[in-house]
């Protein structure tokens, strides 16, 4: 099914410029949204907890900074950009009491609305602007005159104008420069989680680790294994990103391309595809969300154990030594 894509001529900047915006959080996405909106001529204030380490950084960037409660009370559009696991408590205690009929509640990821951890009142609009890239890229591309594509979604249209607000907000952060894709909260949440888990983060990291470990176990130096299975990954992905798989295949040798068609389906085979289907089903039925939130409530015990395991893996120790050779990374 084809998606609908909107560009700058489809957006009305006056919509977002006419609102008082509170960006809650000043992390990766928070700083990008706040600064891009400010530079687009919008009325922005950042909401942070008292004592936040980000308070001074936001002020130094020329932004008005207030407590979350103060920012939410002032604003008629509240964009929540704190981590997923913190959003329900921040919303209930610091934002919900300050929402008024006709306000807009905005998100950059649908996790909490889709899985029911946040239930907004019926008299506010609920929208999403989800840039398809990390915050530092969202900011950098905006300052360079381009923009990261956005997904725009409406979960609740109390005013009858929620879609116009969503498009205008995406324009404000730069998404209309490259394209705004219309989606739903369910689509964004489930596809985003699946992509992260099966391909971009989970799948890619395990693929790199498995290749590295296979070569090292066979007696090859870890430094060579690192270059083959880790370092060159960026070069291949950059070729695909630039012009597609066909361009990557054009750019490599016939030997490499022949090996791709022979070996790729052996590594990513029907068993791998079945595992992907299981991952997607777990996301769709809420099992992943419940497990994640339970681990958060347990002090991130499982997450921290896994983080320690990858941080101390031989591939990371090897990479740290090798990257010291690269003057351009220092």
Contact 181, 4 (CB under 8 A): yes
DSSP-based three-state secondary structure for 6: strand
Locus of tokens 């299981």: 278
Tokens of 133: 């890239």
Could you tell me which residues are beta bridge partners of residue 46? 23, 65
In whole angstroms, give the CA distance from residue 99 to residue 73: 7
Q: Are 46 and 77 in contact (CB under 8 A)?
A: no
Report residue 177 as tokens: 């420069």
Q: Which of 98, 109, 136, 313 is catalytic?
A: 109
Q: Is 300 a catalytic residue?
A: no
Nearest Cα neighbor of 58 from 83, 8, 16, 23 is 23
3-state helix, strand and coil shares in percent for the chain, rounded to the nearest 5: 60, 15, 25
What totals of helices (H) and strands (E) does the chain contain, helices first? 18, 9
Task: Give the residue numbers marked as catalytic.
Answer: 109
């Amino acid at each position: 099914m084809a998606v609908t894509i909107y560009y700058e001529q489809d957006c009305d900047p006056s919509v977002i410029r006419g609102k008082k915006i509170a960006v809650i959080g000043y992390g990766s996405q928070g700083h990008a949204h706040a600064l891009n909106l400010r530079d687009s001529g919008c009325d922005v204030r950042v909401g942070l907890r008292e004592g936040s380490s980000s308070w001074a950084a936001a002020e130094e960037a020329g932004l008005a900074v207030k407590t979350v409660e103060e920012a939410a009370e002032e604003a008629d559009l509240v964009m929540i950009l704190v981590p997923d696991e913190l959003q329900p408590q921040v919303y209930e205690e610091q934002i919900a009491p300050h929402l008024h009929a006709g306000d807009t509640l905005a998100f950059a990821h649908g996790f909490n609305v889709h899985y029911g951890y946040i239930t907004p009142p019926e008299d506010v609009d609920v929208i999403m602007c989800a840039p398809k890239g990390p915050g530092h890229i969202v900011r950098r591309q905006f300052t360079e005159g381009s923009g990261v594509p956005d997904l725009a979604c409406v979960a609740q249209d109390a005013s009858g104008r929620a879609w116009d607000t969503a498009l205008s907000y995406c324009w404000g952060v730069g998404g209309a420069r490259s394209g705004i894709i219309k989606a739903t909260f369910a689509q964004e949440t489930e596809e985003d989680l699946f992509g992260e888990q099966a391909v971009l983060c989970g799948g890619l990291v395990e693929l790199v680790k498995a290749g590295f470990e296979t070569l090292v176990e066979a007696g090859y130096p870890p430094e060579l294994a690192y270059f083959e299975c880790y370092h060159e990954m960026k070069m291949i992905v950059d070729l695909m990103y630039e012009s597609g798989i066909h361009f990557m295949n054009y750019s490599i040798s016939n030997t490499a391309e022949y090996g791709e068609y022979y070996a790729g389906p052996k590594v990513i085979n029907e068993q791998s595809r079945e595992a992907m289907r299981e991952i997607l089903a777990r996301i769709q039925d809420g099992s992943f969300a419940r497990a994640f939130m339970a681990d958060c409530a347990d002090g991130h015990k499982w997450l921290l154990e896994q983080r320690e395991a990858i941080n101390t893996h031989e591939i990371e120790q090897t990479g740290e030594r090798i990257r010291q050779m690269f003057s351009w990374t220092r």
